[in-house]
Amino acid sequence: MSLPLRKLGRSDLRVSPVGLGCWQFSQRRGRNKYWPKLPESEIEGIVSASLDGGINWFDTAEAYGDGASEMELSRVLQKAGKQPGEVIVATKWMPLFRRAANIPGTIGSRLECLSPYPIDLYQIHNPASFSSNQKQMAAMAALVHSGKIRYIGVSNFGARRMRDAHRFLAAEGLPLVSNQVSCSLLNRKIERNGVLDAARELGISIIAYSPLSQGVLSGRFHEDPDRLKALSGMRKYRGFYRKESLRRSRPVVEALKEIGARHEASPTQTALNWLMNFYGEDVVVIPGATRTSQAASNAAAMSFVLSRDELDHLDRVSRAYKEDPR
């Protein structure tokens, strides 16, 4: 069994409930040192396992190694024999210290890095541009009208800014398809900050990144805290990894183990299955993977469905977790 494809927002894109986040393909290029450099053979294995497991879409970004992730994704998809149109590719424009005029100015580089694959979903990476939301949406709309991209999304937008982006694009006759935000059993802010309600009202899909809270929901750091020493770069300073946070998240991990065992599933797979099903079809997830085995495991999260009672139990347990304010 594999969960059916889902419509992404008000578009004709049909995506698997699990996609592959490709930040880890940045190869420590540019200013991005968050992940270790991966062997090319491992990247090939990750993408191949994802495809074999039924994943049909991949999310990358300009900021992931100044295009390195995009180029690696293109290279590996070509090696896997995937033709343009056989997979869905999403990428992002980085607005930091830039104006909206940079959007048409850099789209050629994005297309070149991803060639021969088209950009199915182009997203504003965060709200940090020098230009207004309206000007950014106008520039993105022009890319759709000129055939350079298919659909428009945003990332890390709050409810008000997302509503405004939707309104500006509607004036251009276009939908805002998605908002990519951090969301997991340990991070449920979308329920409190209005993002989920606004997305449902407007027909916008939520793309959940960091759906495993940077691997914490796997339970491996609870079982062996020494694993924290192996974390690279800035990743080790995330609040999820602090001793007190691990103590508070332990009941969630224990519940994932218990429920997962009924489905012969790991805590990781159970956490992904909860996130892609608890909110109905409004949320899709993009876990990353630094090993082929992780990619295969993530894809296998689509092979079962938690019962309503199981979804609700995890809901209750996770609500007792208090997010680290730092």
Nearest of 85, 25, 16 to residue 298 by alpha carbon: 16
Burial of 63 by CB count in 10 Å (0-12 exposed, 13-18 middle, 19+ buried)?
buried
Supply the residues annotated as catalytic. 64
Cα 191 off chain centre by? 18
Whole-angstrom distance, CA of residue 118 vs CA of residue 112: 10
Nearest of 117, 114, 60 to residue 83 by alpha carbon: 117
Residue positions counted in the chain: 326
Burial of 58 by CB count in 10 Å (0-12 exposed, 13-18 middle, 19+ buried)?
buried
- Residue 97 region by backbone torsions, left for phi larger than 0, else alpha for psi between -120 and 50, else beta: left
Computed from CA positions of residues 84, 179, 174, 111, in that sequence, does the dihedral angle turn out positive or negative? negative
Backbone φ and ψ for 177, nearest 5 degrees, come out as -85, -40
Cis, bond preceding 116 (omega within 30 deg of 0): yes
Whole-angstrom distance, CA of residue 260 vs CA of residue 295: 18
Computed from CA positions of residues 263, 268, 270, 276, in that sequence, does the dihedral angle turn out positive or negative? negative
Nearest of 35, 19, 34 to residue 90 by alpha carbon: 19
Whole-angstrom distance, CA of residue 108 vs CA of residue 86: 22
